Each structure stands twice: as structure tokens, then as C-alpha cells.
Amino acid sequence: MPDSKYDIVVIGAGPGGYPAAIRCAQKGAKVALVEKENVGGTCLNWGCIPTKALLASTELVAKAREAEEFGVKITGVEPDWSAIQARKQKVTDTLVGGILQLLKANGIDLVKGAASINADKNVSVETADGAVTLETDKIIIATGSDPAELPTFDFSQPAVMTSTDALTLDHVPESLIIVGSGVIGSEFACIFSTLGTSIVMLELMDRMLPTEDSRVAKQMRSTFRKQGIDIRTETTVEEVLEYRDDGIKVKLSSGDELEAEKLLVSIGRKFNSAGLGLEELGVEMDDRGRIMVNERMETNVPDVYAIGDVVGGILLAHTATFEGLVAAENATRGDAAIDYSVVPACIFTTPEIGSVGLNSDKAAEQGIEVNVSRFSFGALGKALAMGEDYGFVQLVIDAKTDKVLGAQVMGPHASDLVHEVAVAIKMGATAEDIASTIHAHPSLPEAIMEAAEASHGKAIHVAPPKKR
């Protein structure tokens, strides 16, 4: 039974909530953390980590199949889905165990059950042993998001899946329709296409990865096509013609009919704010249930903060964590404000995509005059040695000041490489600063240095334009 009086109650133990709880405890507050499912939230249990564990397995499969190109003979490469799933679960369990230890070490009471907030701003929790009330001075809401569903589909049918269902499939489907070509849909396309699933991906907009830089999205589409993924843009499912136990038949907006064993809906997320008692408390939300907050992560109700996916904006684990730390600081008499100017966003497809700051499309929209400078991995020794010479680094540089404003990386370790540019943007570095920093050879970050040099027409490994 938890204590009944706390300084701060955090609702939701995802990557937003549990770091917020720990930071509050580090600052001397008495903290309860309420979680209705597993600590780690979507990220650890149904999102970032399980997908990356599956991708680690499928990338190994792909690499093993290419082994002969590296002079290594591997015969009988055979992915074992149940073993892949077991490894994924082990990774998740290890991380969940680590969080439980951290909570204990920081003296945080973990209360298992669904929370709601009373009119007197205390928190009620429906635990397995009955309802408890946690008296508290302050509340941080970190209830995250769930997969958004489309009314076109009946999610009780075995063929229709959310991303959470796709993570726990008991076998690899023979065929899969993916509705939505955003980050989550694209990562699942990579996982299952490597395992032999035949995939059709549908996208309502005129290009896949609609929120990415247009050049990146275009090149990714051609890569996906080479991997055998059939991408149909400006297309969606008009109606379901048939649900079967072993499949689904749909009619597309193009008029085509399509059958598959499974259909994954990955069209975005819905905010988890219903049932928390927020309307009664007068917490301001938009018409989609997103909780409105200021830069201190305060809602309009005093002493009630909200963070992470449930406040919308950038739905990423690291943003949730940073918002959590800002809320924790402010809830413990500190003074912090969130800064979204540098948020790396990564897509763990093959090849990976990492982007940060401004891209050329956004620069044009905002009327900022920029130089866009690229360097191709095809000209980089390390990338060739690794057999991963596909893609490029693209730097977006202020044409007047030479300051680096953004980067898009598509290629090997893009999710790691983008962080060099993130620090450069944060420090206000110029392309010259990057170009004049000695980078180790042979290494992938040399591509960033070369792109910076190229912006001044000085890249060593880029041929100058032909003289007429």
C-alpha cells in the first residue's frame, strides 16, 4: 500500500514520466509514479526498443545474405521468428528491470493501476487490490499516446493490426498491406520485407515519408522499390470487401482490389487524455484531446503539468524525456523552459535516415536563404569498405552567416551521424567550423566534414564542375 501524501504524483511511466519522477526525487521531492501497464511505456514495450531489436535481427539476416560479397560463405541463413521475438523480449525485459531498480533506488513509490485526477487535485488509482487515493501537491501527466485507428477497419478482426499487434505476431505473414508510409510503417516494411513478406504500402499524400525532406523521401522510395516493397502514393483503402480469419480483401481509392494476410494501420497516434478527469478539472485540451501546455510544461491549471506524446508536437521518446525534465525542474521550485530548436529525428529503415534542424523545404517555406551542400557516401572510403555506400549527407547552411541550420543524413549510421550536426547547430557553429575540424580517417563522419567543405567549393573528394 503506497503512502497517501506526496509532493508530486507522476501519471504514466514512459520515457517522459519515469525520468520526470527520478528528477523530482533527485531534487528531494516525495514522489509516486502511477502506471497501468508496464514501466517504460510505449517506447520500451511497444515502440522504439522492440522495433529496434527486431531490426537488429533482420539487418543481420540481410548482411548474412550479402556475405559472399565480403568474401565470406554463409550457407543456410534462416531467420527464426520465435527466437527473434524471444531476443526482443529479453532486451525489453532487461531495460524494464533496470527502470524498476532505478525507481527503487530513488525512493519512488510505483503504484500499479489506472489513475484519474479528482476535483480536489488528488489522484485516484484503481489498483488490483482496490482503489487508493494519493494526496499530492503537484501532478505531472505523462500518459502518452496509443495507435490511432481508422473507422474503415474493424480492429477486432484478426487480419487488422496496429503497430502493437505487429510486434507480437506469432508468425511472419506471407503478405502485408501497410496503410501509412510514415516512420512506423516504413520501419515495419523493412522488418517484414527482409523476412520474406510481400508488402504493399499505401500513402494518402503524394510521397512516402511526407514529413521528411523531399530529396530524402524520393531516394528512400527508390530504395524501398529495389527491396521489392510496392509503394502506392495518393492511394488509400476505400472499403474492406472481405474479412477472413486468414486475410483481408480491400478496395483501393485507385479502384484496384488487393488481398493480403494482414493489414497494418500506421497512420499516427491518438492522445491518451480521456478518462483522466481533465474536463472536470478544467484542463485545456484541443479537439483531438491534446493537452495544452506552455514552455514550462504547465497546463492552465496551477500545479498540473503535462509532458510527452499527450501534449502533441514532436512525438518522440527523447522529446518526452526532455519535457519531463523541464516539468520536474519547475515542479521542484526550479525554472526551466523547453527548447525545441534542435531535436534529432531518426528513422531506422535500411538505410537509416537522421535529420535535425531545418531542411531545404522548410527553409524555402520560411524564406531563409540557404546553401544546401551534399556529400555522397559513394565517395567515402569507410562507407565503401563497409559495403554501405548508399545515400548522402546534406547540410543546410545559412547563406549569409555560414551557420549550420540543419542536416539530413541517409545512409549507414545516419542516426548516430546526425548528432555531430545537432551539437554544431546548438553551439551556433559554421560550416567552416566543421570543415576545419580534423575528422578521423576512415570514418563515416568524414562525410559531414566533406559536405561542409563542399559548401565552400573545397571538398577534396568531389570533382569540380567542368570548365566550359
14 versus 180: smaller Cβ distance to ligand FAD = 14
DSSP code of residue 64: H
309 binds ligand FAD (CB under 6 A): yes
Name which position in 27, 207, 249, 318 contacts ligand FAD (CB under 6 A): 318
Report 136-175 residues binding ligand FAD (CB under 6 A): 142-145, 163
Place of cell 525545441: 340
Closest CA to 323 of 155, 140, 55, 462: 140
Question: Residue 243 and residue 259: Cα distance in Å, rounded?
Answer: 10
Does position 276 bind ligand FAD by CB under 6 A? yes
186 binds ligand FAD (CB under 6 A): no
Cβ-proximal residues to 204 (8 Å cutoff; 6+ apart), any chain: 180, 234, 235, 236
* Coil/strand/helix, residue 436: coil
Residue the block writes with cell 549510421: 413
Contact code string over 364-403 relative to ligand FAD, x by CB under 6 A: ----------------------------------------
Catalytic pick among 439, 441, 456, 461: 441
> Using CB under 6 A, which of the segments 15-23, 76-84, 91-99, 350-358 binds ligand FAD?
15-23
Please tell me whether residue 31 binds ligand FAD under the rule CB under 6 A: no
Q: The C-alpha cell of 66 is what?
A: 550479402
Beta carbon nearer to ligand FAD, 33 or 454:
33
Q: Which of 8, 9, 10, 11 binds ligand FAD (CB under 6 A)?
A: 11
Question: Is residue 432 close enough to count as binding ligand FAD by CB under 6 A?
Answer: no
End-to-end CA distance of the chain: 82
Stretch that binds ligand FAD, among 240-248, 309-317, 398-406, 425-433 (CB under 6 A): 309-317
Three-state SS annotation for 359-411: CHHHHHHCCCCEEEEEEEHHHCHHHHHHCCCCCEEEEEEECCCCEEEEEEEEE
Q: Is 48 in the site for ligand FAD (CB under 6 A)?
A: yes
Q: Let me know if 441 is a catalytic residue.
A: yes
Q: Where are the alpha helices (DSSP H) in 140-182?
A: 163-167
Instruction: Decide if residue 327 touches ligand FAD (CB under 6 A).
Output: no
Per-residue cell: 453: 567543405
Cell (9 digits) for 442: 576512415
Name the DSSP letter for residue 153: S
CB-nearer residue toward ligand FAD: 12 or 391: 12
Exactly one of 33, 140, 191, 316 binds ligand FAD (CB under 6 A); which one? 316
Q: Kindly state whether residue 35 participates in binding ligand FAD, applying the rule CB under 6 A.
A: yes
Name the strands in the sheet holding 175-179, side by side, starting at the edge strand that comes first in the sequence: 160-161, 262-265, 175-179, 198-203, 230-233
User: Binding to ligand FAD by residue 312, rule CB under 6 A?
Assistant: no
Q: With binding defined as CB under 6 A, does residue 237 bind ligand FAD?
A: no
Q: Does 51 bind ligand FAD (CB under 6 A)?
A: yes
Number of residues binding to ligand FAD, judged by CB under 6 A: 36
We find the least distance from the C-beta atom of residue 52 to ligand FAD, in angstroms, to be: 6
> Would you state the cell numbers that stand for residue 44, as one nine-digit string?
520500451
Cβ(220)–Cβ(229) below 8 Å: no
Name residues whose C-beta falls within 8 Å of residue 438's C-beta, 6 or more positions apart in sequence. Answer: none
User: Which residue's CB is nearer to ligand FAD, number 12 or number 247?
Assistant: 12
Residue of 2, 47, 357, 412 that binds ligand FAD (CB under 6 A): 47
Task: Find the binder of ligand FAD among 173, 182, 308, 412 (CB under 6 A).
Answer: 308
Q: What are phi and psi of 114, to 5 degrees?
A: -85, 130
Output the smallest distance, CB 122 to ligand FAD, in A. Answer: 14
What phi and psi, each to the nearest 5 degrees, are found at residue 126? Answer: -85, 95
Q: Segment contacting ligand FAD (CB under 6 A): 36-44, 85-93, 424-432, 451-459?
A: 36-44
Q: Does 114 bind ligand FAD (CB under 6 A)?
A: yes
User: What residue type is 464 in one-letter code?
Assistant: P
Closest CA to 380 of 372, 390, 395: 390
User: What 8-state DSSP symbol labels residue 350?
Assistant: S
Contact residues for ligand FAD (CB under 6 A)?
A: 11-17, 34-37, 41-43, 46-48, 51, 114-115, 142-145, 163, 184, 272, 276, 308-309, 315-318, 320, 348
Which residue numbers are catalytic?
441
